[in-house]
Amino acid sequence: MQTVKMVVTGPFSAGKTQFIQSVSEIDVVSTERKISSDEERAVKSATTVAMDFGRITVDEDLVLYLFGTPGQKRFDFMWEILSEGMLGFIVMVDTTRPETFREARSILETFRAYAPTPYVVAANKQDIDDAWELEDVRHALRLDGKTKLLPCVATDRNTVKTILLELLYSILEEMDAGK
Amino acid sequence: MALRGNLRDFTITQLLNLINLAGKTGTLIVDGPVEQAYVSFREGKLAYARIGQEDGTLARVLHKANKINVNQYRAIADRAGQMTDKELGLLLINAGYVTQEDILANLQGYFTEIVRKLFTWVEGFFRFENEMLPPEDRINVRLDLENIIIEGSRQLREWEQLQDEIPSLDMALKFTERPLTNVNLSVEEWRVVKFVDPKNTMRQIASTNKLNDLEIRRIVYGLLQAGLVEVIRPVGLATAPNPRMFPTQDKEEQKSLINKLIGRIRSM
């Protein structure tokens, strides 16, 4: 059995667990715990503390694992461990919460420094009126024109599939370019 | 129990606060990332500080502050080898080169600068030696720690924010399309800009310009905000896929594997 993995990262409450749940064929193995901080509890009631874990079986010889990182900075010791050997990574950003953009930028830079693997940025919650427009998010995250910034609704399986596919296309392109 | 530990668990700001509140006398020795610092206190007040290879003599401090020129500094170093800083200070005051206020202000500035530098150290070990007092031949000051602590806390917040913005100094910089014309840069910024090249990591640029981690991040942050540079992986750094990414080393098999994944996800 061959296995490969992709990592889904991003700030607290960006929608990483939901993203994995939308495409995983198993119930996501989640290490969610009740939130102790009032400020964070106002956003959601439980958060990932170690990792989320989803699976997509390709055939009897090949399985893709999706790992979701904990979003809170105090668990960042897990990030490097989870990033080892990844094919690529997805940075999730809640586009209705601009206060998290700075952290998203920081997480993106941290993961870029870990490994020269392809990545895409998923602009989550684009179905909500308050969501920032993609071009504004691009500037806020300081993404260059070549970085894929894709609209996302983590509960919608089709947008999640598109994001995974775009990441896989990027991986193929890099392989073709001999990087 | 001896006051010793790791800066990760107990920051410089917390240490100074403790020394201040307890009115401690002794020397704090900090083993930082590349150098060692000695900071002495008397009854909770800053008395003296020395860092790395710098001898911290009065002549050196006054020369750094441009109170004496290089020839005067050399002459003092040659002739006053056996003289204590206190004797040298008196000599310079009597000769009209400096005033007593000059000496105290410059020593205070020098010692405070060393403590400020310590605020940027997040890694390292410390220990506090109660018995260890500043060298007797050096002039001590008596500086309240409160303002230094407040400034340090401010700097710590800035440090945390800058670290969020620029988490790794092992990345390189490259110029964006935006031209550098009509941009007013400071001398320090130009010193960094001169070395902006996809081959140079920020750590290398900092080391060449003798900037510490905080200083290089502060300058790069300004350049990033102005849209003049962007952070990239350094050219020349291994960019081949990590072998562990794929269960096979064969390029064609790797491509086939990705194509299988694409097919599977499309069919979901």
What is the arrangement of strands in the sheet containing A119-124, beginning at the earlier edge strand? A29-34, A46-59, A62-68, A2-9, A88-94, A119-124, A149-151
- The packing angle between helices B251-266 and A157-176, to 10°, is 160
Is residue B268 included in any domain, yes or no?
Answer: no
Query: Any bridge partners for residue A63, and if so which?
Result: A3, A57
State both tokens at B19: 């020394």
Identify the H or E element spanning B254: helix B251-266
Same domain flag for B156 and B179: no
B88 closest CA partner among A137, B97, B240, A126: B97
Same domain flag for B114 and B195: no
Is residue B241 included in any domain, yes or no?
Answer: no
Chain A hits for B251, Cβ within 8 Å: 175
- Is residue A50 scored above 80 in pLDDT? no
Q: What is the average pLDDT across A134-140?
A: 91
Identify the H or E element spanning A20: helix A16-23
State both tokens at A84: 């080892």
CA distance A146 to A90: 15
Provide the CATH topology of domain A2-176: Rossmann fold (3.40.50)
Q: Determine the 3-state secondary structure of B51 from DSSP.
A: strand
What are the domain boundaries of chain A? Answer: 2-176
Number of domains in chain B: 2
CB A66 within 8 A of CB A23: yes
Is residue B140 included in any domain, yes or no?
Answer: yes
Which among B159, B245, B256 is the top mutation candidate for probing chain A, defined by the most A β-carbons within 10 Å of its own β-carbon? B245
Same domain flag for B20 and B152: yes
- B241 contacts chain A (CB < 8 A): yes
- A142 contacts chain B (CB < 8 A): yes
**What was the pLDDT predicted at B227?**
85
Distance in Å, alpha carbon of A44 to nearest chain B alpha carbon:
23
CA distances from B102 to A68, A80, B48, B110 (A): 59, 51, 16, 12
Same domain flag for B144 and B37: yes
Query: Any bridge partners for residue A123, and if so which?
Result: A93, A151
Please tell me the pTM assigned to this model: 0.66
Identify the H or E element spanning B146: helix B146-165
Among candidate residues B105, B138, B163, the one where a domain is terminated:
B163
Distance in Å, alpha carbon of A22 to nearest chain B alpha carbon:
11
Which among B256, B265, B266 is the top mutation candidate for probing chain A, defined by the most A β-carbons within 10 Å of its own β-carbon? B265
Is residue B77 included in any domain, yes or no?
Answer: yes
Q: Which residue has the higher pLDDT, A47 or B152?
A: B152
Which residue bears the tokens 């691009």?
A138
Same domain flag for B141 and B184: no
Structural domain range at position B195: 172-232
State both tokens at B22: 């307890």
Identify the H or E element spanning B30: strand B26-31
Is residue B237 included in any domain, yes or no?
Answer: no
CA distance B130 to A120: 55
B115 closest CA partner among B76, B69, B154, B149: B149
Of the candidates A58, A85, A157, the beta carbon closest to that of B245 is on A85
Q: Is A4 close to B166, i.e. CB distance below 8 A?
A: no
Of the candidates B224, B242, B255, the beta carbon closest to that of A85 is on B242
State both tokens at B121: 């150290």
Same domain flag for B24 and B147: yes
CB B79 within 8 A of CB B67: no
- A122 contacts chain B (CB < 8 A): no
Per-residue pLDDT of chain B (268 residues; tens, 9 = 90+): 578 899 888 889 989 999 999 999 999 999 987 899 999 999 999 999 999 888 778 888 888 888 888 888 777 777 766 788 888 888 888 888 889 999 999 999 999 989 988 987 878 899 999 989 988 888 999 999 999 999 888 888 888 889 888 988 999 999 987 766 777 888 889 999 999 999 999 999 998 998 888 889 999 999 998 888 989 888 866 554 455 788 888 888 899 999 999 999 999 8
CA distance B135 to B50: 11
Is residue B260 included in any domain, yes or no?
Answer: no
pLDDT digits (tens, 9 = 90+) for A107-121: 998 898 888 899 999
Same domain flag for B140 and B202: no
Same domain flag for B9 and B138: yes
Same domain flag for B24 and B126: yes
Of the candidates B233, B237, B247, the beta carbon closest to that of A2 is on B247
Distance in Å, alpha carbon of B178 to nearest chain A alpha carbon:
13
Which residue bears the tokens 């586009």?
A95
CATH at B203: 1.10.10
Is residue B265 included in any domain, yes or no?
Answer: no
The bridge status of strand B172-175 relative to strand B229-232 is antiparallel
- Is residue A93 scored above 90 in pLDDT? yes
Same domain flag for B47 and B71: yes
CA distances from B9 to A1, A27, B28, B153, B214 (A): 44, 38, 16, 16, 20
